[in-house]
Amino acid sequence: MNSRQMVLATFIHNSGAHPGGWRYGADADQHDVDHYVRLAKTAERGKLHCYFSGDQQGLPMIKGRDAYAATDYAGKLEPTTLLAALAMVTSDIGLIGTVSTTYNEPYAVARRMASLDHITKGRAGWNVVTSAGNSEARNFGHDRLMDHDLRYERAEEFVDVVKALWDSWEDDAVLRDKASARYFDPARLRQLNHKGRFFNVAGPLNVGRPPQGHPVIVQAGGSGPGRALSARTADLVFTAQSSKDKAVAFYDDMKARAAAFGRNPAHMAVLPSVQLLVRSTEAEARAAQEELLHLIPDALAWATLQMQIGFDLSDYGPDDKMPDIPLTNGGQWVQQELVRMARAEDLTLGQLAKRATVSRASFSMAGTPEQVADMMEDWFRAGAADGFSLSPNYLPGGLEDFVDQVVPILQKRGLFRTEYQGDTLRDNLGIPRPAHAQMGHEPDLWA
Amino acid sequence: MNSRQMVLATFIHNSGAHPGGWRYGADADQHDVDHYVRLAKTAERGKLHCYFSGDQQGLPMIKGRDAYAATDYAGKLEPTTLLAALAMVTSDIGLIGTVSTTYNEPYAVARRMASLDHITKGRAGWNVVTSAGNSEARNFGHDRLMDHDLRYERAEEFVDVVKALWDSWEDDAVLRDKASARYFDPARLRQLNHKGRFFNVAGPLNVGRPPQGHPVIVQAGGSGPGRALSARTADLVFTAQSSKDKAVAFYDDMKARAAAFGRNPAHMAVLPSVQLLVRSTEAEARAAQEELLHLIPDALAWATLQMQIGFDLSDYGPDDKMPDIPLTNGGQWVQQELVRMARAEDLTLGQLAKRATVSRASFSMAGTPEQVADMMEDWFRAGAADGFSLSPNYLPGGLEDFVDQVVPILQKRGLFRTEYQGDTLRDNLGIPRPAHAQMGHEPDLWA
């Protein structure tokens, strides 16, 4: 079938996206690779386009010792090593990992992602983020977080340098010609000699051009600078949108921004994240939703709200309304979505805290498989989404329920494929392989 | 059997340690993970203790475009991602990767190695190096290489911070107690708040304590500062020694240095590297050795010598003798070994160039399986080695020959085990798991 179909990803968040998820689901050990192997195989069984592993470079800050102890945030596996392992137990699904531009060097990230693209044989993706926590800053020699806009300026240059490093080898640079004693063709390697505001990088990379040319670029920034970075560089845009109308507005804005950069908007897929809970009946779905909510300690909800709005609520109580707060230097999009939600729905801080803890400003729904499929079809046809990033509430059950109960309905409706259609993640997404950018100088290493 | 047995590792260098190796062996693709999968499985079939993947953060500098084109040095996979992939297709062998202390941050390395130790279920090792090339420096914003001794001072602090980060979680910090809503015990996490000459790192790590407590620490520095770092911190010491006598002297020096740091010298294994070529008869072995040598273009040999001694030989020819040269800022041990070899054996620069290209100052031998086993037994019993790091000349054949023809002889003589004896690399090496160092403060994240 040739009509447009959904792109589906799954965002694997520790033991589940719902803060009550780890107490609800199976006894998942976040330090055991087998937990993730099971999830990746399940996602591949469902023919999902990609498995997405998030990351931070430190512990997220949540005030209150008991609140913290109730979360599954403190420890888990690092994405690039985890995804390389998952490459060996899967064969088709894309493997996307978060690597920050804030405390890393572009040469190091370019080679790890290039290596991952070779190991996955063309299934790697890089989620480009900036690190937004003071606790992360303090693990890397800084007293506090870098300024928000400065972080994004650094990210822009970082992505450009990484892409140039991936292009520092032409596709056919490796010869392995034993007779002529030429392992590679030196004329097909290039130096960048990049000298920028943040980075000076000579190159060439010491890994050959990735199978996909460039691993798939993923971005999720919702602020102005974040949207600009996405529109210019991202192949996949992940976003948290609390309603279909807001998602349509975001979708239109992003497609227009991509076009303004001279890009084909169809080559950038916009995927709102959805937290889904699937049960055979509405009543069962509502009951499961209530049980999950019940499993979140109040202290954790309150601490999470403070973290997400970047504001100390010690002077307020759960029955108060949202005060006026200054723009955070952290994740501005999430902050503003929560403020907007509190005002629009006239929520108390206590109500908002539970909402913030559950959904992080993304769309959350509990229902039957048909209801969930209806919602997805509605958003998809309304121009709110090219597909979705599923954040299962609890793992592994939440993902298994989706794959076994919702995917078949989407397939029957012709909204989702029944088989992987290409060899690489780009093939499967229908996003073209970037041509090699001719650039730079022959390396002076052999001058 | 309870008597002392050899530790055996294999150092996998691109398509083979011999520069003619890629033209001699199978058509190995260094960007294809299957090349390394085959090697790791072969090494595990031979019950070797570890598979060792080297690394540089840039292209090695070799002058001369044709010389460069004749090498297999330019591109390959990055070790931490590669080893995570190999973890999934092996079950017992240790997986050691090089990660530099020079252009990385300790928090990032601590978490990647901790993650690898979880993924391998306790089989990870970290080869601690300093980056010794100007081409690497220029990929990370520096005009030239950091001073040799300064690099080692940074490495000392780097290793200490990484170990402290691994200890920032107690072993039993993860509770996953659903009933009490405690995923982990906050009292069992610690902040370092390290403020040193090179690094300020708060911690705690966002990965739980590695299964081995600390992944195995590997070091190969031969200079004074390099030996000091090894003696204080390394579980395994890899070294290039050109003769048994020199190996005995190095071995004694390292064991004495370890004891001077208050360590049990038996808990630090010293492994000289050996480049072995195994054939059924001596004549075949010599013929294969000649053929390999023939496959190295003269231009490559000359360029390699210049790189290894860190000196421009434009004013000299292959018939000249080694001039007096200043101490390099790069790898001083290799430089001095080559100068010593040239003087001791009265070699011309042309002869030295071939030797330098083949063996990098380590011991090289071609012979029958019995002869090779005799040499290894001789060194082992003479106190020159706790075992060996095998650098196969060509891959995969060179490793397969060793595993199939030499290992059975060593086993028959009782010099090498016939089965893996423990679950982790430390178990298999007979090196104790480090106790958790109680330290620091409870994190202020939840204050």
CB pairs under 8 A between A and B: 243
Contacts of A299 in chain B (CB under 8 A): none
User: Quick one: pLDDT at residue A1?
Assistant: 40
Mean pLDDT for the stretch of residues B443-447: 69
Q: What is the Cα–Cα distance from A360 to B171, expressed in whole angstroms?
A: 32
B195 touches chain A (CB under 8 A): no
A298 touches chain B (CB under 8 A): no
B197 touches chain A (CB under 8 A): no
User: Quick one: pLDDT at residue A360?
Assistant: 62
Mean pLDDT for the stretch of residues B335-354: 88
Q: What is the Cα–Cα distance from A399 to A106, expressed in whole angstroms?
A: 34
Contacts of B121 in chain A (CB under 8 A): 33
Bridge partners, A219 (sequence order): A128, A237
Q: What is the Cα–Cα distance from B83 to B97, expressed in whole angstroms?
A: 7
Model confidence at A336, in pLDDT bands (50, 70, 90)? confident
A350 touches chain B (CB under 8 A): no
User: Quick one: pLDDT at residue B65?
Assistant: 84
Q: Report whether pLDDT(B170) > 90.
A: yes
Nearest CA in chain B to A105: B140
Mean pLDDT for the stretch of residues A130-157: 87
Binary contact (B445, A59; C-beta < 8 A): yes
Token pair in block for residue A71: 């979360």
Mean pLDDT for the stretch of residues B410-419: 97
Higher pLDDT, A7 or B293: A7
Q: What is the Cα–Cα distance from B251 to B272, expressed in whole angstroms?
A: 9
Q: Report whether pLDDT(A447) > 70.
A: no
Mean pLDDT for the stretch of residues A18-35: 91
Binary contact (A207, B75; C-beta < 8 A): yes
Contacts of B205 in chain A (CB under 8 A): 75
> Which region among A109-113, B209-213, B239-243, B304-308 has the lowest average model confidence (pLDDT)?
B304-308
Q: Report whether pLDDT(B331) > 90.
A: no
Mean pLDDT for the stretch of residues A103-125: 97
DSSP state at residue A316? -
Token pair in block for residue B159: 């290793």
Residue among A62, A118, A183 minimizing CB distance to B33 = A118
Which of B:209-268 have CB within 8 Å of A?
none
Per-residue model confidence as pLDDT tens digits over B126-149: 999 998 788 899 999 887 777 888
Say how many C-beta atoms besides its own lie within 10 A of residue B299's C-beta. 19
Bridge partners, B441 (sequence order): B191
> Which region among A406-410, B204-208, B363-367, B372-376 has the lowest average model confidence (pLDDT)?
B363-367
Token pair in block for residue B80: 């931490």
Query: A433 φ, ψ to 5°?
Result: -75, 125
Residue from A38, A175, A183, A300 whose CB has the most chain B CBs within 10 Å, to mutate: A183
Per-residue model confidence as pLDDT tens digits over B68-102: 889 888 899 999 999 999 999 999 999 999 999 99
Higher pLDDT, B186 or A248: A248
Binary contact (A140, B205; C-beta < 8 A): no
Average pLDDT, chain B: 92
ipTM of the complex model? 0.94
Q: What is the Cα–Cα distance from B225 to B294, expressed in whole angstroms?
A: 37
Q: Report whether pLDDT(B2) > 60.
A: no
Token pair in block for residue A132: 């937004």
Q: Quick one: residue A392, left, alpha or beta (phi over 0 = left, psi -120 to 50 = alpha)? A: beta
A55 is in an annotated binding site: yes
Q: What predicted TM-score, i.e. pTM, was given to this entire model?
A: 0.94
Q: Report whether pLDDT(A152) > 50.
A: yes
DSSP of A328-386: PSS-HHHHHHHHHHHHHTT-BHHHHHHHHHHHTTSEEEEE-HHHHHHHHHHHHHTTS-S
| Binding site, annotated residues of B for FMN | 55, 98, 148, 152, 223
DSSP state at residue A314? T
The CATH superfamily assigned to A7-283+361-446 is Luciferase-like domain (3.20.20.30)
Contacts of A141 in chain B (CB under 8 A): 105, 199-201
Q: Report whether pLDDT(B29) > 50.
A: yes
Residue among A85, A103, A186 minimizing CB distance to B87 = A85
Q: What burial class does residue A169 get, using C-beta atoms within 10 Å of its C-beta: 0-12 exposed, 13-18 middle, 19+ buried?
A: buried
Token pair in block for residue B169: 């979680």
User: Quick one: pLDDT at residue A408?
Assistant: 98
A420 touches chain B (CB under 8 A): no
User: Quick one: pLDDT at residue B147?
Assistant: 85
Residue among A56, A71, A141 minimizing CB distance to B206 = A56
B93 touches chain A (CB under 8 A): no
The CATH superfamily assigned to B7-281+361-446 is Luciferase-like domain (3.20.20.30)
Model confidence at B1, in pLDDT bands (50, 70, 90)? very low
A392 touches A51 (CB < 8 A): no
Per-residue model confidence as pLDDT tens digits over A374-392: 999 999 999 999 999 999 9
Radius of gyration of chain A (CA): 22
Contacts of A204 in chain B (CB under 8 A): 59, 74
B85 touches chain A (CB under 8 A): yes
**Residue in B427, B446, B444 with CA at minimum distance from that of residue B213:** B427
Q: Report whether pLDDT(A299) > 70.
A: yes
Q: What burial class does residue B262 get, using C-beta atoms within 10 Å of its C-beta: 0-12 exposed, 13-18 middle, 19+ buried?
A: exposed
> Which region among A5-9, A145-149, B47-51, B443-447 has the lowest average model confidence (pLDDT)?
B443-447
B192 touches B168 (CB < 8 A): yes
Q: What is the Cα–Cα distance from A220 to A238, expressed in whole angstroms?
A: 5
